[in-house]
Amino acid sequence: MEPSLTPMQVNGANLATPKARLQSAIIIIASTTLVFTGCGINFAFGVFQELYDSMSKEQNTPFTGATPAQIDLIGTLSIALMTIGAPFATAWTKQYPPRYVIWASGTIHSSALLFASFSQHLWQFILTQGILLGMATCLTYMPSVTVAPTWFTLHRGLAMGIILAGTGIGGVAWPLAFRYLIESVGFRNTLRVTAGISFALICGSGTFIRWPASQITRIQAENAASSRSSTFFRLPLVDWRVVRTRKFVAHALGAALQSAAYYTPVFFFASFARTLGYSQATSANFIAISNAANALGKVVIGHAADRMGRLNTLVLTTLISAVSVLALWLPSCLSATQSTGSTLFIAFTILYGIFASAYVALFPTSLVELFGVQNFVSVNGLLYMVRGFATLVGTPVAGALIRGSHEKTVGPRNYEHTSIMVGVLLVVATLAVVWARLEATLNLDSAAGRKVKWLM
């Protein structure tokens, strides 16, 4: 295990030292850059999805004759695998210096994009830009959201909000870069240029990711209990006493339902806007608006969570996400006039972008509150895996509902069943998060009996 600096807890005298302030800035900047690069490129797949879909209607292309569902599979696999491999990624982050894991991810990430640039068949794009890129992103993303929260206490919500705002910033910046490069040098060279950039950003930022000193002794003790050869290819074990608790079941249920719903509007913002009469270029702006709201929401709500309690804020963000779908997106699908539908959809894009994305930023901080730092790493990996599998199910089902009709043209009403599905999933997710919050309010103390903790 590599040496580490003194833990920067951001709520005591440690913050006053120049060394602590410098380390806080380094952790935030490095983690934000990793999320910006890994997740941002993933979330910008819509640019390639649109391009590949148009190529499917042309002759002699790698996508000729491919269905939208087959092309969707590339992005869906990449997003899902970003968290499905979380237990392994978090275990390796404990077993080896985090920078080694991230350097490996940078190599795989750039290789996936480079291999995709030479692909000639759809299955090759699924393998490279889908599966391989998703695995690499997992090894970039999970160390960032696993190591960073352990450096903060009082301002953990704000810190993670800033770091995970990198997804929203990347979701705005990468599509603009991709469109410019595709028009200038073609999509294959775009993939090659992106491969070089991603390698530099991921490997460079990963150099600065390390555990705080407060975690070193505990991690070394855990590593000493098992050899590297016996744990490298084995699914990391978690404390089943924690897994069997009601608060774990509640949080896992909420995480799965929220993840099954979350990405559907994000993936279909542009295509739904087209059904409202917007041009192709204007429709793409809805993705940028959503991602900008995403970045803002994670920072502002993350800061608010440090004051209101992270679990309390998690309940609020999930509830408002559900309300925005049922009160804004669903009515926009059913609106009798285009102007009313457009107004409702613009409001939905902003509101959903702010609050639904904030759940993602609050998720790792809530795990520390619920299960403690000592269980955070293993629980974090397991629950992120749950979210990955839920994404793999929820998004394709939503897409099938949209394309399920046999109509030649797709209009706003084709999204009715999908919006209902997303809304219902988020309502039930809200109930699950409330359940987890109620379980956390009663903290059994052998000396003082049961005591209530509301600011969590």
Work out the burial of residue 112: count CB atoms within 10 Å of its CB; fewer than 13 is exposed, 13-18 middle, 19 or more buried. buried
Mean pLDDT is lowest, of 81-90, 275-284, 386-395, for 275-284
pLDDT band at 451 (very low <50, low <70, confident <90, very high): very low
pLDDT digits 0-9 by tens, 20-29: 678 878 888 9
Residue length of the chain? 456
Q: What is the pLDDT of residue 330?
A: 92
Residue with the larger pLDDT of the pair 342 and 17: 342
144: buried, middle or exposed (CB in 10 Å: 19+, 13-18, 0-12)? buried
Tell me the C-alpha distance between 105 and 203, whole Å. Answer: 8
pLDDT at 185 over 70: yes
**439 phi, psi to nearest 5 deg:** -65, -35
Instruction: Read off the pLDDT of residues 77-88 as tens digits, 9 standing for 90 and up.
Output: 898 888 888 888
Cα–Cα distance for residue pair 105/420, rounded to 1 Å: 37
- Pick the more confident residue, 446 or 409: 409
Tell whether the model's pLDDT for residue 426 goes beyond 50: yes
- pLDDT for 12 equals 37
Number of helices followed by number of strands (H, E) in the chain:
19, 2
Q: Which CATH number fits domain 1-233: 3.40.50.1100, 1.10.540.10, 1.20.1250.20, 3.30.460.10?
A: 1.20.1250.20
Which residue, 31, 41, 42, is CA-closest to 391?
42
User: Is pLDDT above 90 for 319?
Assistant: yes
Q: What is the dihedral of CA 219, 225, 226, 227, to 10 degrees?
A: 90
DSSP code, position 405: S
* Residue 294 neighbours by CB distance under 10 Å: 28
Segment of 53-62, 189-198, 396-405 carrying the highest mean pLDDT: 189-198
Give dist(CA 351, CA 357) in Å, integer. 10
For the chain, what percent of residues have pLDDT higher than 90? 25
Model pTM?
A: 0.78
Q: Is 336 helix (H, G, I), strand (E, B) or coil?
A: coil
CA distances from 230 to 89, 224, 265, 376, 382 (A): 16, 12, 42, 22, 19
The tens digit of pLDDT for each residue in 30-44 reads: 999 999 999 889 888
Separation of alpha carbons 344 and 151, rounded Å: 41
Give the three-state DSSP class for 204. Answer: helix
pLDDT (0 to 100) of residue 9: 42
Highest mean pLDDT among 36-40, 384-388, 397-401: 36-40
Separation between Cα atoms, residue 206 and residue 243, nearest integer Å: 31
For residues 182-194, average pLDDT: 92
Strand partners, 452: 442
Pairing of strands 449-452, 442-445: antiparallel
Where exactly are the structural domains of the chain?
1-233, 238-456
Residue 454 pLDDT > 60, yes or no? no
pLDDT cut 70: percent of the chain above it = 84
Out of 4-13, 152-161, 250-259, 300-309, least confident range: 4-13
Average pLDDT over residues 377-391: 82
Contact in structure between 3 and 168 (CB atoms under 8 Å): no
Report pLDDT for 455. 52
Place of tokens 């210096």: 97
326 confidence band (pLDDT: 50, 70, 90): very high
Say whether pLDDT at 416 is over 80: yes
Contact 318, 258 (CB under 8 A): yes
CA 400 to chain centre: 22
Asked if residue 364 has pLDDT above 50, the reply is yes
Residue 393 scores a pLDDT above 50: yes
The yes-or-no answer to whether 1-233 and 238-456 have a common fold is yes
Tell me what the pLDDT averaged over the chain comes to. 81
pLDDT band per the 50, 70, 90 thresholds, residue 193: very high
Q: In this structure, are residues 121 and 62 in contact, taking their beta carbons and an 8 Å threshold?
A: yes
Checking if the pLDDT of 443 tops 60, the result is: no
Burial of 159 (0-12, 13-18, 19+ CB in 10 A): buried
pLDDT of residue 30: 92
HEC states along 83-104?
HHCHHHHHHHHHHCCHHHHHHH
Q: How far apart are CA 132 and CA 110, in angstroms?
A: 10
* Fold exhibited by the domain 238-456: Growth Hormone; Chain: A; (1.20.1250)
Residue 102 has a pLDDT of: 94
Q: What is the mean pLDDT of residues 96-103?
A: 90
- 424 CB burial (10 A radius; 0-12, 13-18, 19+): middle
Cα dihedral: 348, 422, 46, 199 (round 10)? 110
d(CA 311, CA 198): 34
Q: Would you call 360 helix, strand, or coil by DSSP?
A: helix
- Would you give the DSSP letter of residue 206? H
Q: Give residue-wise pLDDT tens across range 108-139.
A: 999 999 999 999 999 999 999 999 999 999 99
* Contact criterion met (CB below 8 Å) for 9 and 137: no
Q: What is the pLDDT of residue 231?
A: 52
> Which range has highest mean pLDDT (17-21, 267-271, 311-315, 378-382)?
311-315
